[in-house]
Every structure is written in C-alpha cells, then in structure tokens.
Amino acid sequence: MAQEDVFKKIVSHSKEYGFVFPSSEIYDGLAAVYDYGQNGVELKNNIKQYWWQSMVLLHENIVGIDSSIFMHPTIWKASGHVDAFNDPLIDNRDSKKRYRADVLIEDQIAKYDEKINKEVAKAAKRFGDSFDEAKYRATSQKLIEDTEKRNALHERYKSAMNANDLDELKQIILDEGIVDPIGGTRNWTDVRQFNLMFSTEMGSTSEGSMKVYLRPETAQGIFVNFLNVQKTGRMKIPFGIAQIGKAFRNEIVARQFIFRMREFEQMEMQFFVRPGTEIEWFKKWKEIRMKWHEALGFGSENYRFHDHEKLAHYANAATDIEFKMPFGFKEVEGIHSRTDFDLSQHEKFSGKSIKYFDPELNESYTPYDIETSIGVDRMFLSVMCGAYTEETLENGETRVVLKLPAQLAPVKLAILPLVKKDGLAEKALDIRNELKFHFNCQYDEKDSIGKRYRRQDAIGTPYCVTVDHQTLEDNTVTLRNRDTMEQIRVAVPELNGLLHDKVSIIGLLKTLQ
C-alpha cells in the first residue's frame, strides 16, 4: 500500500475509534486545531506520564513546574520571539493559497534527493551483487550533474536563510520553476516575514488593556522561574526543570493532521549546567532521549538524529530526533544547547540578577542550558503510525490492530462475557469491579466474541479476558494476547499480578535504567 494511503487510513482510524476529532466539527472545523476523544485522551495522558516520570521520578535533580500560558509581554521581547519568531511566507496569486517559502524550497531539494536515490536504486537492480554504490556515485555523469545541482541549490538556500534575504528566497523559487503544489502556476507574490505568535488583549478597558501573547513555547516559563525553583528547591547545578503545557503558533501552512497544529502541547525540560560542560551534557541528553523513544519497541531503524546545519544565534549545538512517519522521517523532538542566552536575556530585560552561586567553585555565574523539547501531539502521531497494522489472518480475513506499547494503550484489559446469560455477565462485571482500581478496564457484552476482539484490537487493548461457563466452575478465564491472539487459561485472582508489570508505566521506566 502506498504510504500516502497508509497515512489516510491512520487519520480516519483515529477519528472512527475516538482518538482524534477535528475541532468544532459540526461548524465545519477550525484549521489545524484538533480534539482528543475518549481513547485519544488516555493515550495522550499515558505518553505524558511516561515522559514526566522518566524526567522527574528517575532523576533526583529534575523537578517539575506548571507555569501560566499568559506571561509578561516583555518576556517575548527578551526571548527574541517578538522580533524574530517568523516564517517567510509567499502567496500564489492564482490559487490564493499561502505557502512557507522555505518549505517550498526544501521540498524541491527533497525532489532532487528522491531522483538521485531512484537512479541509484535502479542501477543497484541492474548490476545486482557486483554493484559498488560509491563508485557509481563518483562516476555516473548524470548522477554527478544532479548531485551538483542539488548541492548548489542547497547552498544558495542556506545562505539566503542565514542572511534573512527574502528577495533571494523568491528568486530561488522563480529560478527553480517551483509551481504552486495545488494550482500548478508560478504567479508568486513577494516573500514576506510572518510572526507566528498569537496575541490578545488583557484588561477590561481599551485604554488600560495590554497586548499579551499566547506562549509559542513552554520554555520561557521555566527560564523566568529559574531562581524561584533553584532557591526554594535548594537545587544544585547540574539540575533540570520540566514542564508539560499548551503552546500556540499561528502556523502559515498547517498540514499533515496533528503533525503541525496551531494549538498543541509540549513537554520541555531545561537542564542547567556549568559553562564549559554543556557539550558533554548535550551528548548525554541525546543518548537519554533516544533511549526513551527506543524503549517503546517500534524498532531503532525508525528513529534517527538530524543535526542542525544552521544553528540559532544562541545555540552551540542542536539536533532533532526524527521518526519515520508514512510521509518520511520527521522531527518529533529537538535537543538544543542554548548556552546562557535565555537567562542572560531575562537578566538584561528585567534588570534582576539571575546568577547561580556555585559553592564548589565559590563563584557566581549564569548557567548554561540544554533543552529537550518534544511535542505531545507529534509523539502521539508517531505512536499511532508505529502501531497501526493491517494483518491478513489464516482464514483470509483482515484485521486492523493498533500494536501500541501495552503501557501506553488507552484500555489495558477488556472483560467480555462469552454470552450475556447464565450468570456470565454478572461474573464478568464482578471481575471488572475488582480490577478497575488497578487499570483501565472495559466491559463489553454486545455482538459476537469475534467482533468484540476486533473492536479491542482496533483501539490497541493488549489483553482481553473472556468469561465462559468454565469460569463459573473453577474461577478461571481465558486471557487473549492482542498481538499473538494466543489464549491461555488464568485463575481470576492471578490476573492483577500477571498484568500489572506488563501494562504499567513502571515496566517501561525500568527499561530506561
């Protein structure tokens, strides 16, 4: 199946099974804003819990906060967001569609890459075992020309972005003959900068009101609370502050479902270290964070680092963790060595000293910061993409199963009476009432047992318990495994102990140690 079709199926599956709904759907929706349904919210909460506990429970020197969405507007001046949190936008006069100029050019570079890779793959097929890729790349005249063209475009694009040269970005689009992906024409406007922050008014009267922003990242709430936490928590460097919360960006082009939203949620951790040790910590955090992703079991081949070529002026190292979505490897998390930029800026703009006194060195300094920043919604999307599976069974039927890590699954256990009568329903409800204190259970008595299993497969429930006539005699049930579909007979009092380690976040956390 084409990857595009797989993605479409994931989007419709998410809706059909109560994971993600378009916002305000009965009013035809609101672009790039989504709601999480009854299963989505459970999965999302489990992702957040996995992240939070891996930070705050597993690290004695990391604590959490929950700062507000509205903050003093000067914070965004200090952080650089008022002046520089921009994307270059371009409109097509014919289709009236708006695009990000940088994305149009990056897509063009990706097209060259695709062409080059296709040529190499074709040659590999032609030459078979004797194929020497390096030699082919160095000698095929066509490939050399294509690679040169691609690299020249890349260099030109990089310099235009670094110099913030909007005219040059437009010229690249014209020179490359890039057409509107929807309308197909080249009738482009000039490129303009567009600030991504949403703003609103705070205060009751028009004279007394103040322009405030909806935070575009949660990080600044951590920086401005640095001293509060350090002092009241008696924190010693190195230490971290973690936070989960909403962020808002007026994205020019919101595409790919919950990959790019206008309202989304971030899980950010700022780790403060001694100046000079930041690159060592940056490397450590890269390792820790990759391990966190890989522990979910989707296969390490589906993750990669993408080191930034263009560093923000305040960063001295930056990388993304990318996940292989059906539409290619895409950023899920960013890890940035942000130096002392943010704390120093807030010191400058607020006029208050934000220094740390290091008792071991007997000196005060502005700590350096390593940031790990991951989008909850993008993580959610990567989990759905990794889990969505269509299987053909031995009897020729297909089943759709979400192979979610059991610890993240919305429902851990479905409790199903084989039939409603003969006291089986009552027995099943007794079991549910006992186990509901331990994990999220779902009772279902409607339709055939086969249909009920499929419904649970479709929402990723890792285990199903079936209560049958034998249960009434010996207090045992069948326990069905979602992935293998194997069933074993288990005594009811053993269910909790048997499942606890398999479905609890603790099991995942232990693999990180």
Question: Helix, strand, coil proportions of the chain in percent (round to 5)?
Answer: 45, 25, 30
Strand partners, 23: none
Which residue in the set 278, 333, 342, 457 belongs to the binding site for ligand ATP (CB under 6 A)? 333
To the nearest 10°, report the CA torsion of 248, 251, 255, 259.
-30
- H helices of 388-504, in order, are 424-435, 449-459, 469-474, 495-503
Q: Is 100 in the site for ligand ATP (CB under 6 A)?
A: no
Q: Do the beta carbons of residue 246 and residue 221 sit within 8 Å?
A: no
Q: Is 369 in the site for ligand ATP (CB under 6 A)?
A: no
Which residue in the set 289, 338, 378, 403 belongs to the binding site for ligand ATP (CB under 6 A)? 378
What is the rounded distance in angstroms from the CA atom of residue 462 to the CA atom of residue 447? 20
The DSSP annotation for 200-252 comes to EEESSSTTT-EEEEE-S-SHHHHHTTHHHHHHHTT--SSEEEEEEEEEE---S
Q: 446 to each of 25, 420, 431, 451, 476, how far by Cα in Å? A: 29, 8, 17, 9, 22
Q: Do the beta carbons of residue 442 and residue 416 sit within 8 Å?
A: no
Q: Is 374 in the site for ligand ATP (CB under 6 A)?
A: yes
Q: Length of the chain, please?
A: 513
**What is the number of the residue whose Cβ is closest to ligand ATP?**
375
Closer CB to ligand ATP, 219 or 401, in the complex: 219
Q: Is 342 in the site for ligand ATP (CB under 6 A)?
A: no
Which residue in the set 44, 249, 293, 403 belongs to the binding site for ligand ATP (CB under 6 A)? 249
Instruction: List the x/- string, 196-235, binding to ligand ATP by CB under 6 A.
Output: ---------------------x------------------
Q: Is 372 in the site for ligand ATP (CB under 6 A)?
A: no
Range in contact with ligand ATP (rule: CB under 6 A) among 77-85, 103-111, 261-269, 291-299? 261-269
Q: Is 375 in the site for ligand ATP (CB under 6 A)?
A: yes
Range in contact with ligand ATP (rule: CB under 6 A) among 111-119, 297-305, 332-340, 457-465? 332-340
- Residue 124's contacts (CB-CB under 8 Å, 6 or more residues apart) are 131, 133
Minimum CB separation of residue 338 from ligand ATP in Å reads: 11
Helix (H) or strand (E) segment spanning residue 14: helix 3-16
Q: Is 243 in the site for ligand ATP (CB under 6 A)?
A: no
Q: Do the beta carbons of residue 289 and residue 335 sit within 8 Å?
A: yes
Closer CB to ligand ATP, 375 or 417, in the complex: 375
Q: Is 385 in the site for ligand ATP (CB under 6 A)?
A: no
Which residue in the set 94, 168, 294, 331 belongs to the binding site for ligand ATP (CB under 6 A)? 331
Closer CB to ligand ATP, 266 or 456, in the complex: 266
Q: Is 260 in the site for ligand ATP (CB under 6 A)?
A: yes
Closer CB to ligand ATP, 340 or 371, in the complex: 371
What the block records as the tokens of 16 is: 């059909």
The DSSP annotation for 126-159 comes to HHGGG--HHHHHHH-HHHHHHHHHHHHHHHHHHH
Number of residues that bind ligand ATP (CB under 6 A): 16
Q: Which residues bind ligand ATP (CB under 6 A)?
A: 217, 249, 251, 260-261, 264, 266, 331-334, 373-375, 377-378
